[in-house]
Structure 1
Amino acid sequence: MYERDFQELTDAVSDLLGAPATLEDRDFRLVAFAAQHGDLDPVRLGSILRRGSDARVRAWFESFGIARATVPLRTPADPVAGTKARLCLPARHRGVTYGYLWLLDEGEIGLDDPRLGAAMELAAESGAKLAASPSRALEGLLSAAQEERAAAAAMLAGHPLAGTAYAVLYAPGAQIPAGVLGTGDVLVLRAAEARETAARLGVIAGVSGPRRGFALAREALEEAKFAHRVARTVSGPVAAWADLGPYRMLTALPEPDPAVAPLLDPAHAALRETVETYLDEAGNAQRTAAALTIHRQTLYYRLGRVTALTGLDLDSGADRLLLHTSLKAARLRGAQDR
Structure 2
Amino acid sequence: MKRWIQRSRSGGEALQTLVDGLAEELGRSVVLDDPLVRLICTSRHFGDEDRVRVRTLLQGIADDETIRYVLSQGVARWTRPGVLPGRDDLGMQPRYCAPVRERGHVLGILMVVAAGAPLTEAERGAIDEVTRAVAVEMYAERLASDDDEEHTRRLVSRLIGSDSAQRCAAHQRLVDDGLLPAGPHVVVTSVAVSGQPGPTGQTEVALRGALEPFRQTRTARGLSMVDQERAVLVQVFEREPAEEDLDLQGRGIVRSLTTFLGPGPVVSVGVGGRRTALADAWISYDQARVAVRAARRLPRLEGIGDWERLGEFAVLLQLPESALNDSLLPKPLRRLLANGGGNSRLEETLRCFLDNAGSVPRTAEVLELHRTSLYYRLRQIQEITGLDLDVGAHRLELHLGLRLWDLLRAPAEPASPWTASQQTAFP
Q: TM-score, normalised by structure 1?
A: 0.68
Cα distance change of structure 1 residues 46 and 16 upon mapping to structure 2, 3 Å threshold: same
Distance in 1 (CA, whole Å) between partners of 2:120 and 2:232 is: 38
| Counterpart pick for 2:368 among 289, 293, 307 | 293
Distance of 2:82 and 2:214 partners within structure 1: 32
**Alignment-derived partner of residue 262 in structure 2:** none
Note closer, same or farther for the CA distance 1:43–1:114 as it changes in structure 2 (3 Å cut).
Answer: closer
Whether 2:44 is the aligned partner of 1:54: answer no
- Work out the CA distance in 2 between the residues paired with 1:60 and 1:121: 23
CA distance in structure 2 between the aligned counterparts of 1:309 and 1:29, rounded to whole angstroms: 60
Query: Tell me, which stretches of 5 or more residues in structure 2 are unaligned?
Result: 1-9, 162-169, 193-209, 253-268, 413-427
Q: CA deviation at 1:248?
A: 0.8
1:13-57 per-residue CA deviation (whole Å, 9 max, x = no partner) reads 321211433343333344444444434334434545372443675
Q: What root-mean-square deviation, in Å, do the aligned CA atoms of Structure 1 and Structure 2 show?
A: 4.8
Give the conservation status (yes or no) of the 8 Å contact 2:100–2:109.
yes
Say if 1:330 and 1:41 are closer, same or farther in 2 by CA, change over 3 A. farther
After superposition, residues 236-315 of structure 1 pair within 5 angstroms as 240-253=306-319, 254-256=324-326, 257=329, 259=331, 260-261=333-334, 263=337, 265=340, 268-315=343-390
1:179 maps to which of 207, 212, 216: 216
Counterpart of 1:108 (choices 119, 127, 131) is 119
Identical positions, percent: 27
Change (3 A) 1:219 1:105: farther
Q: Within the alignment, does 1:122 sit opposite 2:122 as a pair?
A: no
Deviation at 1:177, TM superposition (A): 5.6
Aligned amino acid, residue 274 of structure 1? T
Amino acid aligned to 1:44: R
Is 1:20 aligned to residue 29 of structure 2? yes
Report the residue type matching 1:84 in the other structure: Q
- 1:69 is matched with which residue: 53, 65, 78? 78
Q: What letter matches 1:190 in structure 2?
A: V
CA contact (8 A) 1:93 1:124 kept: yes
Cα offsets for 1:229-249 (capped at 9, x unmatched): 799737x99864245443311
SS at match of 2:99: strand
Preserved contact between residue 163 and residue 212 of structure 1 (Cα < 8 Å): yes
Who is 2:259 aligned against? Answer: none
Letter of the 2:246 counterpart: A
After superposition, where does 1:199-218 map in structure 2 within 5 Å?
A: 201=249, 203=251, 207-209=271-273, 210=275, 212=279
Alpha-carbon distance in structure 2 between the residues aligned to 1:220 and 1:26: 32
**Alignment partner of 1:328 out of 399, 403, 411:** 403
* Deviation, structure 1 residue 226: 4.7
Question: Does the C-alpha gap of structure 1 residues 113 and 98 become closer, same or farther in structure 2, counting only changes over 3 Å?
Answer: closer
Of residues 261-270 and 241-250 in structure 1, the stretch that sits farther from structure 2 once superposed is 261-270
Cα-to-partner distance string for 1:67-115 (whole Å, 9 max, x where unaligned): 33344x1224335444322232324454232432323244436474145
CA 1:252–1:298: 2 relative to 1, 3 Å = farther
* Residues 1:189 and 2:235 aligned together: yes
User: Which segments of 5 or more consecutive residues in structure 1 lack a partner in the other structure?
Assistant: 147-152
Give me the whole-angstrom Cα distance separating, in 2, the residues matched to 1:129 and 1:266: 60
The worse-fitting range, judged by mean Cα deviation, of 81-90 and 163-172 is 163-172
Q: How many residues align?
A: 320
CA–CA distance in structure 2, aligned partners of residues 38 and 139 of structure 1? 45
Distance 2:55 2:404 in 1: 41
Tell me the amino acid that sits aligned with residue 77 of structure 1.
Answer: P
Q: What is aligned with 1:149?
A: none
Aligned residues of 1:279 and 1:324 also touching (Cα < 8 A):
yes
- Matching residue of 1:86: 95
Task: Work out whether 1:161 is the aligned partner of 2:180.
Answer: yes
Return the structure number with greater relative CO, CA threshold 8 A, min gap 6.
2
**CA distance in 1 between partners of 2:77 and 2:68 (Å):** 14
**Where does residue 41 of structure 1 map in the other structure?**
50
Q: Deviations over 1:194-218 (max 9, x none)?
A: 4363255594975212464988897
Tell me the equivalent position of 2:261. none
Distance change in 2, residues 1:78/1:217 (3 Å): farther
Distance 1:26 1:311 in 2: 61
Number of the residue aligned with 2:246: 198
Q: What's the TM-score, normalizing by structure 2? A: 0.57
Tell me by how many angstroms 1:269 deviates. Answer: 4.1
